[in-house]
A and B are shown apart, each in its own frame.
Chain A
Amino acid sequence: MLFLQSLISGLLTGGVYALAGIGMSLVFGVMNVSNFAHGDLMMLGMYMAYFVFTLLHIDPYISLVLVMPAAFVFGYGLEKMFINRVIHHPHQNQILLTIGLGLIMSNTALLAFTSDPRILTTSYSSSSFNILRDVSVSVPLLLSFMITCVITATLYLFLGKSRTGMALRATSQNREAAQLMGINVSRMSAIAFGIGTALAATAGALIAPTYYIHPLAGHSFLLKSFTICVLGGLGSVVGATVGGLIIGVIEAMSSTYISTDWKDVVVFVLFLAVLLFRPQGLFGKKGGQ
């Protein structure tokens, strides 16, 4: 029973981690930029969902139709204004830039929204149903998991079948060759960053009804997203999906069978092991970075 309970809550939480991880991985794949503002973009998604809910009275899950496009436009603009200036620079410049952008976002949020945590309470925030005897499934978490599945499937289709998706993959595989084939790579970068931002904001909005909303809430997810990306293989969308689920389950299992205090230790030991034995990540390209 306990095993099944941990497995289910681990998988469901892992789904949201995966969504955050995919956004980061996509940006890295296409642009070769590690986005350290990812957690803060998630935080913006949380506040967007919160204000859409409290001011417009729209359910946080339905609010995604507003949050996603808004976040895409924001990310697209961010890339055009700042990120593309460092795209050919060394990694440390890119990291400094994205950390700086993240700091500006979180501190602006601190000024604007104060440091009081906000709680988004919907009618189903703490409801659950039982499968079997004694194994409960959280309704909001299950909803977010299903939405994550739909979004991830749509993303696969988009990357696999659509023209823009193929151009994105081509840019990801070889930027120079793609450019020679007539693909507008700088536009692709902006689109990738826009999608990455939209996915981060979506992950934030999805977790908002079960978490609390705070200007610094993104920071704990940044580290997780990064771990997920590296675990799955930087740039691999499949890898990030699987990585997210793995981390979710491991966290749940280690708090059940070892100790809550030790779950981060278990996650990072595993992370180090992957780096040692499979430095390219579980689904990474061999000989990649």
Chain B
Amino acid sequence: MKKAILSMIVAALPLLPLSSEAAGPVKIGFINSITGKEAQIGENLTNGAAMAVEDMTAKGFSVTVIKEDDGGDPKNALAAYEKLVTRDNVIGVVGPYTSGSANVVASRADQYNVPLLVPAAAKEEITRKGYKNVFRLNAPADVYSLVLMKAVAQYKPKTIAYVYAATDFGVSTVKTAQDNAVSMGLKEVANEKYQQGQPDYRATLAKVKAANPDLVFLVSYDADAILLMRQAKEIGLAPKAFLGAGAGYTTAQFAQQKDISNLVVSATQWTDDVNWPGAADFAKRYKAKFAKEPSYHAACAYEAMRIMIETSSKAGNASAVQQKLKSGSWNGIMGPVKFADYNGFNNQNNHPMLVQQLQGGKYETVYPAQFSKAKLVYPFKR
């Protein structure tokens, strides 16, 4: 009973300032990693969200976005959320970026009854705990391996080898990949976990080569991806396909290394050549404005911010925002968006992840067919 009263008061709080300044702009919050270890990716989110605010303002929406920095730390993210909902009286929050921060903030969203729209955090639990006020735009982590394997399933590969970094993301992604492989009838012929930052993976790769797999499934960060592919070329490892699940295979730097990265397949939330409405135009404007290629994080933040601005302007208070997010559907640069309950997820957008392949130094979307213009080159050749 006490809790119910409390939540009613909290829910009513945002209404107070609105009643006094009825015509004023709606207030929403944005939590992001502007400083700290994740700042490099955080910058993409900042840019994407800024573009969304600009576009929506141009369309006549009147909105105030209050930005908070969590420095990549869940503790700060929670403090930022609490400040936004209690002091600034925002009626919706976009963010935070990292899985760790988003997971912690999500656990408090129902207590304050202010909806949280997570743009790009992948940890599955965030939308698995039945929170009413937590919505997620991007696909969770298990979809990475699933979509990669679906993309090559029609070619009937028989064996698979795993080479991956000994990190949380590496180990858990390979675990879901193994489950998918079993259901596809793939036989595991090598499983090599490595510590990051080693100069020499040749012995490992020679061993994988000796097992002669059809598919090599890789999870690596940053420059390790380049190192592994270089040494794979030296050793002469040439499976039917290289499947890269981790961040290292989707960077512009990796694409530049044409002679080693060509035809590598990777999974991503968004590409600039996908045929979702406005995607290509967004990429063009983003490049012109920030002199950088937009990453999928930028697109996620743009779309999340756009949806939040549109919804909160129509709703006017937090609980109405929650209802409108739950019932609404959108179609923008991230494709069709609908927050649904399925497979144990709540308010999760069943976002179709994309599979891209490097073809001549450019990432081309190759799967699913209805979103792509290019075709997958299979088998892999040097």
Interface residue ranges, A against B (CB under 8 Å): 1-2, 5-6, 9-10, 13, 16, 115-117, 119, 121, 125-128, 130, 134, 136, 138, 207, 210-212, 214, 217, 220, 248, 251-253, 255-256, 259-261, 264
Within the assembled complex, what's the spacing in Å between the Cα atoms of A9 and B202? Answer: 7
Name B's A-contacting residues (CB within 8 A).
Answer: 40, 166, 192-195, 197-204, 206-207, 210, 222-223, 226-227, 229-231, 233-236, 253, 257, 259-260
Q: Are A260 and B234 in contact (CB under 8 A)?
A: no
**What are 10 residue pairs bridging A and B, where the CB atoms are less than 8 Å apart in the complex?**
A2-B210, A6-B206, A10-B200, A10-B203, A13-B200, A13-B202, A119-B257, A210-B227, A210-B230, A255-B203
Task: Provide the residues of chain B in CB contact with A6, threshold 8 Å.
Answer: 202-203, 206
Which of B198, B203, B260 interacts with A5 by CB under 8 Å? B203
Q: Which residue of B lies closest to A116 (CB)?
A: B40
Known: A5-B206, A212-B222, A264-B195. 15 other contacts (CB 8 A): A1-B210, A9-B206, A13-B202, A116-B40, A117-B222, A117-B223, A117-B253, A119-B253, A134-B236, A138-B231, A212-B226, A252-B202, A255-B201, A260-B201, A260-B204
Bound Cα distance A212, B223 (Å): 6
In the assembled complex, the Cα of A2 lies from the Cα of B231 at a distance in Å of: 15
Q: Is the CB of B192 within 8 A of A128?
A: no
| A-B residue pairs, 3 tightest by C-beta | A212-B223, A9-B202, A117-B223
Q: Which residues of B contact A1 (CB under 8 A)?
A: 210
A126 contacts which of B166, B199, B233 (Cβ < 8 Å)?
B233
Bound complex: CA of A261 vs CA of B257, how far in Å?
Answer: 27
**Cβ–Cβ contact B230 & A253, under 8 A:** no
Q: What residues of chain A lie closer than 8 Å to B195, measured between beta carbons? A: 260-261, 264
**With the chains together, A16 CA to B199 CA distance in Å?**
10
* Docked pose: A252 CA to B202 CA in angstroms: 8
Given contacts A128-B234, A217-B197, A260-B194, contact A2 B223 (CB under 8 A): no
Please pick, from A13, A127, A134, A255, the residue contacting B199 in the complex, using a CB distance under 8 A. A13
Provide the bound-state CA to CA distance between A217 and B197, in Å: 8
The distance from the CB of A260 to the nearest CB of chain B, in whole angstroms, is 4
Q: Give the distance in Å from the alpha carbon of A260 to the alpha carbon of B191 in the complex.
A: 9
A211 to B228, CA, bound (A): 10
Contacts of B192 in A (CB 8 A): 255, 259-261
Residues from chain B with a CB closer than 8 A to the CB of A134 are: 236
A261 B166 Cβ-Cβ under 8 A:
yes
Contact A220 B197, beta carbon cutoff 8 Å: yes
The smallest beta-carbon distance between B307 and chain A, in angstroms, is 31
Residues on the A chain within 8 Å of B235, using CB: 5, 128, 136
- Given the complex, which residues of A lie within 8 Å of B194, measured CB to CB? 260-261
Report whether A259 and B206 are in contact in the complex, using a CB–CB cutoff of 8 Å. no
In angstroms, Cα B260 to Cα A127, docked, is 10
B200 touches A125 (CB 8 A): no
Contact call B206/A126, Cβ cutoff below 8 A: no
Q: Which residue of A lies closest to B197 (CB)?
A: A220
| Bound-complex Cα distance A220 to B231 (A) | 19
Chain B residue with the shortest CB-CB distance to A115: B40
Cα distance A259–B192 when bound, in Å? 7
Alpha-carbon gap, A119 to B235, bound state (A): 20
Set A115, A136, A256: member contacting B234, Cβ < 8 A: A136
A116 to B40, CA, bound (A): 9
Beta-carbon nearest neighbor of B163 in chain A = A260
CB of B167, distance to nearest CB on chain A (Å): 12
Assembled-state Cα–Cα distance A255/B201 (Å) = 8
Interfacial chain A residues near B260, Cβ < 8 Å? 126
Q: With A and B bound together, what is the CA distance between A162 and B207 in angstroms?
A: 47
A23 to B269 CA separation, bound complex (whole angstroms): 47
Q: Determine how close the nearest CB of chain B comes to the CB of A266; give it in whole angstroms.
A: 12
CA–CA, A264 to B199, complex, Å? 13
> Which chain B residues border A130 with CB–CB below 8 Å?
236
**Docked-complex contact A260 and B202, CB < 8 angstroms:** no
**Chain B residue nearest in CB terms to A8:** B202
| Cβ-defined contact, A5 with B233, below 8 A | no
CB-CB under 8 A for A9 and B227, given A259-B192, A259-B193, A261-B194: no
Q: Which of A119, A252, A264 contacts B200 (CB 8 A)?
A: A252
- How distant is the Cα of A260 from the Cα of B228 in the complex, in angstroms? 13
**Judging by beta carbons under 8 Å apart, are A256 and B222 in contact?**
no
CB of A137 to closest CB in B, whole Å: 8
What's the Cα separation between A125 and B231 when bound, in Å? 10
- For B227, list chain A residues within 8 Å (CB): 210-212
Q: Which residues of B have CB within 8 Å of A259?
A: 192-193
CA distance A1 to B210 in the complex (A): 9
* Contacting pair A119 B223 (CB below 8 A): yes
In the complex, the answer to whether A2 meets B253 with C-beta atoms within 8 Å is no
**In angstroms, how far is the closest chain A Cβ from the Cβ of B117?**
29
Residue of B193, B195, B206, B253 with most chain A CB atoms under a 10 A cut-off: B206
Bound-complex Cα distance A159 to B369 (A):
68
Q: How far is the CA of A119 from the CA of B200 in the complex (A)?
A: 15
Query: A125 contacts which of B202, B222, B230 (Cβ < 8 Å)?
Result: B230
Contacts of A252 in B (CB 8 A): 200, 202-203
Residue ID in chain A nearest B207 by CB atoms:
A256
Q: A125-B230, A136-B234, A256-B207 are in contact. Are A9 and B193 (CB under 8 A)?
A: no
Chain B's nearest CB lies how many Å from the CB of A138? 5
Q: Give the distance in Å from the alpha carbon of A255 to the alpha carbon of B193 in the complex.
A: 10
In the complex, residue of chain B having the shortest beta-carbon distance to the beta carbon of A212: B223
Q: When the two chains form their complex, are residues A121 and B203 in contact, meaning their CB atoms are under 8 A apart?
A: no
What's the Cα separation between A194 and B221 when bound, in Å? 35
